[in-house]
A and B are shown apart, each in its own frame.
Chain A
């Protein structure tokens, strides 16, 4: 299938690539702060190390492709990919995990396809999924919000560089709220909420994660205000997720898939809605296309969370929708100026 370029009128430019990327990076700060407060400095190590690896791979790949290093490195796209990948990984992840993720994100998913703007899939999500599929043990063990206080920064660093995952220290790791709901098939939700400290100490959705998601929501709203992206995709995704999770909530029985509030404010929901599916390269280009793209991503997130094998689903949903984006674009071409109707497809006569 041909990749269709977006038709005019083209969106008004916010600035060059570098400034937009910087703005998105700045918008990540509240979420990163929340992550650091609840899960420790390991989050920051992840970010620093992954950024270094990503920049290294980007420079090497550009060099091999005979591109100008300074120009492409200064657009901050590699760092943004690194940050998005790093905050999806468990804190104090071993260095080889980060290296491997950075390699697949930058070299395989981005540069092999021709660099920024030519990648059909979101690089950070490719990196994440390769790691999740290849190293399930290291990838699914998160430090618990209570446990991280017992891990000193030195211990954490030692773990990072000895190549052992922190998960091997007993008692400091815990399932995420989504995991808990997924594994449950005997208890009523209210019983889980009363017994499990992840929920009993939380304000409304799950200890730590609610604030992390709130942070990313704030950052996302800032980007929306700055017109870095339009509201269509995130709003439709969150709406679809809310409606589906409300339909299958069934009042909190033992087979409930969790409340809408839990789904909106745990895992990577807000990160996905505002930072991942709004990626201008890999998502749909028209407003109508973005609405369909976002809504279907939301549906997929819920389907995979409720009946899939993995606890969180943002990355899988985003990649599946990346596959579908050219197809959606094909059927949602906007009306061009001077024509009464939008042309569906390529070869139809006006």
Chain B
């Protein structure tokens, strides 16, 4: 059980594909202009990631090292095509808005990275969990950036949600600053994506540093521990 906890923590926080590994930045920066775009692409990536991790884990003993990478890419491409067709069928408008970035999921290094680094070395259940945690971590960051950029850039949040959730979601839109808000255009333009991503990474680093400090203070306080034990703690 502890292993699963660690896998989830890795994907969602400690080794987050968007904030720590900085993988898949192209879709992260390009489609995070609004929550609905971010959520759409995040869900698609999550689906492909879980699917590819399952398949790769299942065939991991049948595929030789020489053809490993081409096989992974084929698997990922198949899942991406499925996802693309699904989106075309059920969320056609969103499919048109996201455009080239859906097929580009194939080239998202986060997916190939997980296949190569985790799924081809682990059993099925941990691989599924890893794909889900990594995909969810990526999607959450994507949605957070999308939300910040949408709020700053247009003054509303959850606009156009009907593209993903059907007509009932049309009313989800919330206007935060009233009618007179002019919109801080740079937030929706490409520079805004870089600025917001950079700030999110900074916030994560601050939280990490804070947690490290607290953990260090905690481990220090019991004075009964011997010196030798503490040194091994540090080197480990």
Contacts and interface: CB of A to CB of B under 8 A. Distances in A.
B191 A135 contact: no
A52 B18 CA distance: 38
B220 interface: no
B185 interface: yes
Interface string B169-210: 000000000000011111101010001000000000000000
Q: How large is the interface on B (under 10, 10 to 19, 20 to 34, 35 or more residues)?
A: under 10
A4 interface: no
B185 A134 contact: yes
B181 to A, nearest CB: 11
Contacts of B186: 130, 133-134
Contact of A135 (B182, B187, B195): B182
A151 interface: no
Contacts of A100: 184
Interface string A126-161: 000010011110000000000000000000000000
A32 interface: no
A23 interface: no
Contacts of A218: none
A344 interface: no
A108 interface: yes
Interface string A39-78: 0000000000000000000000000000000000000000
A71 to B, nearest CB: 25
Main secondary structure of the interface of A (DSSP, over half): helix
B138 to A, nearest CB: 25
A9 B191 CA distance: 39
Residue among B182, B183, B187 having the largest count of chain A Cβ atoms under 10 Å = B182
A133 B191 CA distance: 10
Interface in B17-54: none
Contacts of A130: 186, 191
B195 A108 contact: yes
Contacts of B187: 134
A136 B182 CA distance: 11
A319 B183 CA distance: 24
Contacts of B182: 135
A97 to B, nearest CB: 10
B201 to A, nearest CB: 12
Nearest to B189: A133
Interface in A8-58: none
B42 to A, nearest CB: 26
Nearest to B186: A134
Interface string A269-292: 000000000000000000000000
Contacts of B195: 108
Residue among B185, B186, B195 having the largest count of chain A Cβ atoms under 10 Å = B186
Contacts of A108: 195
Contacts of A136: 185
A350 B3 CA distance: 56
A135 B183 CA distance: 8
A108 B199 CA distance: 10
Interface in A239-262: none
A323 to B, nearest CB: 13
Contacts of A134: 183-187
16 contacts: A100-B184, A108-B195, A130-B186, A130-B191, A133-B185, A133-B186, A133-B189, A133-B191, A134-B183, A134-B184, A134-B185, A134-B186, A134-B187, A135-B182, A135-B185, A136-B185
Given A100-B184, A134-B187, 4 more contacts: A133-B185, A134-B183, A134-B186, A136-B185
Interface of A: 100, 108, 130, 133-136
